[in-house]
Amino acid sequence: MIEVEHLSKRYGEKLAAGGLDFAVQPGVVTGFPGPNGAGEPATMRMIAGLDGPAAGRVEVNGRDYRAAPAPMAELGILPGATTMHTCRPARNHRPRFGARPRQRIRSLV
């Protein structure tokens, strides 16, 4: 489960994410659509522990994602479309970004 509470992030004077609160249940594929500048990449980076929040907290399976013993087995992320190979089917990308097991991948794509 992903739990986000009062999550905020600033880059200088720019507010990238402000006061976000949400939870994602295990096994649910979730995306963050929005207009440019809405904070989707900043939110994903904070969930994955790549950036620290200015305020709030994020927990993945009850703890800070960075503390997970095998983080890629717990959270599959795609931080941006630039990491995708345009000629590769989606099912081949999923294991690279943490989705396990393969049977679950087949059921999603």
Domains of the chain (ranges; CATH) run 2-108 (3.40.50.300)
pLDDT at 11: 87
Helix/strand/coil for 10: strand
pLDDT at 82: 60
Count the residues in the chain: 109
Question: Which residues of the chain are under the pLDDT cut of 50?
Answer: 99
For the whole prediction, is pTM greater than 0.75?
Answer: no
Helices (H), 1-109: 40-47, 90-93, 102-108
